[in-house]
Structure 1
Amino acid sequence: MNAQELRGKTPDQLREDLSALKKEAFNLRFQQATGQIENTARMRQVKRDAARVLTVLNEKAAQAAAE
């Protein structure tokens, strides 16, 4: 997921993506705690994707406020 793709989405779609990423992050943390996680790099990827979505949401909010 890159920022260009995210900038093309609406804020509602971004919030849905963020919700899905947070659920996935929770599930990955749960798997790690129980020793069942297979791909540990996925945790880092999900956290960064969530941060990227939040950044784009904040950019859109700032742009809307400036108009």
Structure 2
Amino acid sequence: MSEYAKKTKEELDRLVRDHREKLQAFRFAITGSKAKNTKEGRNLRKEIARILTEVQRRTIESRTSNIKK
């Protein structure tokens, strides 16, 4: 079970927003040659994808539970 499965929808939304802001700041830093860790962008994108995958899994799960009722 991932760490994101334990979080609420609001917490996941906040995490996505925060990670996207960090990614934007990272991209600006790369453009200005201020960033040293070039893997940070890739890691941020992967974290955003993991969070959005959990949100999508919950959405599908709730839809299928409504159909079964």
How many residue pairs are counted as aligned between the two chains? Answer: 65
Structure 1 unaligned runs (5+)?
A: none
Higher relative contact order (Cα pairs below 8 Å, separated by 6+ residues):
1
Q: How does the TM-score come out when normalised to structure 2? A: 0.89
Give the aligned partner of residue 26 of structure 2.
28
Cα deviation for residue 11 of structure 1 reads 1.0
Alignment of 1:1-67 (within 5 A): 4-67=2-65
Q: Which has the larger radius of gyration?
A: 2
Runs of 4+ in structure 1 off by over 2 angstroms are none
State the Cα distance separating 1:64 from its structure 2 match.
1.0
The sequence identity of aligned pairs, in percent, is: 20
List gaps (5 residues or longer) in structure 2: none
Q: TM-score, normalised by structure 1?
A: 0.92
Distance across 1 between alignment mates of 2:43 and 2:63:
30
